[in-house]
Chain A
Amino acid sequence: EIVLTQSPGTLSLSPGERATLSCRASQTINSIHLAWYQKKPGQGPRLLIYAASSRATGIPDRFSGSGSGTDFTLTINRLEPEDFAIYYCQQYGGSPSFTFGPGTKIDIK
């Protein structure tokens, strides 16, 4: 099973700053099978990015995804107050099989 590792565990930033979140896979994965989600307390996760770099419908363009192979990045430009949340990466391994990373929390500095 492919293991996803996210870093850092917590990112302390101020509104207006840029957030750079990392997701590393234990094996090479197909970029089309890598997604990112935002999770806020009391809510279900919200799809942000699929296929590593495609924004989901309604997601602001300050969110962008990149990467390939084993290293993927979610970048949030100009953090807004509503962006302080936990972010998860997820990969699809066929069969079907899906795994998530442990998450990166962005909190207010």
Chain B
Amino acid sequence: QVHLEESGGGVVRPGGSLRLSCPASGFVFGSFGMHWLRQSPGKGLEWLSFINYDGSKTYYRDSVRGRFTISRDNAKNTLYLQLSSLRIDDTAMYYCAKAPNAGGYFHFWGQGTLVTVSS
């Protein structure tokens, strides 16, 4: 079955950086697009970024474009999200999610990794 497991979260100062990882199993990773999303008490669920199956196309929500970078290593079946210039309102649980073959929804999600930005 599909398994996604985020890691790399932690406590970081404003302006700091973190790299989140999401190793995947149970499906042909290199054949599917992948997403990052987050959930915070103040803003609910937010889509952050998408990367297509081979990493040639990436998309971001406006509030994170230029600060966050999505990438993937298909040889390692792993998705990444580099977080930089972190702000207090980036505090959230971060999730990776598998895209379906077609359609604008999130097929499978990991359990999340918590990022806390605090001075």
Chain A residues proximal to chain B, CB less than 8 Å: 32-33, 35, 37, 42-47, 50-51, 56, 88, 90-100, 102-103
Q: How many A-B residue pairs have CB under 8 A?
A: 57
Which parts of B65-109 form the interface with A (CB within 8 Å)?
95, 97, 100, 103-109
Q: 15 pairs across A/B with beta carbons < 8 Å?
A: A33-B103, A35-B105, A42-B111, A44-B109, A44-B112, A45-B45, A45-B95, A45-B109, A50-B100, A56-B107, A90-B105, A94-B104, A97-B61, A100-B46, A102-B44
Q: Would A50 and B103 be within 8 Å (CB), given that A43-B111, A45-B45, A88-B45 are in contact? A: yes
Contacts of B50 in A (CB 8 A): 96
Closest residue to B106 on the A side, CB-wise? A47
Top 5 nearest A-B pairs (CB, nearest first) are: A92-B104, A44-B109, A98-B47, A35-B105, A100-B45
Contacts of B27 in A (CB 8 A): none
Most chain-B CB neighbours within 10 Å: which of A35, A93, A96?
A96
For the complex, give the distance between the alpha carbons of A97 and B61 in Å: 8
For the complex, give the distance between the alpha carbons of A82 and B61 in Å: 34
Interface size class of B (residues with CB under 8 A): 20 to 34
For the complex, give the distance between the alpha carbons of A90 and B106 in Å: 9
**A100 and B44 within 8 A (CB):** yes
Mask, B1-26, CB within 8 Å of A = 1, is 00010000000000000000000000
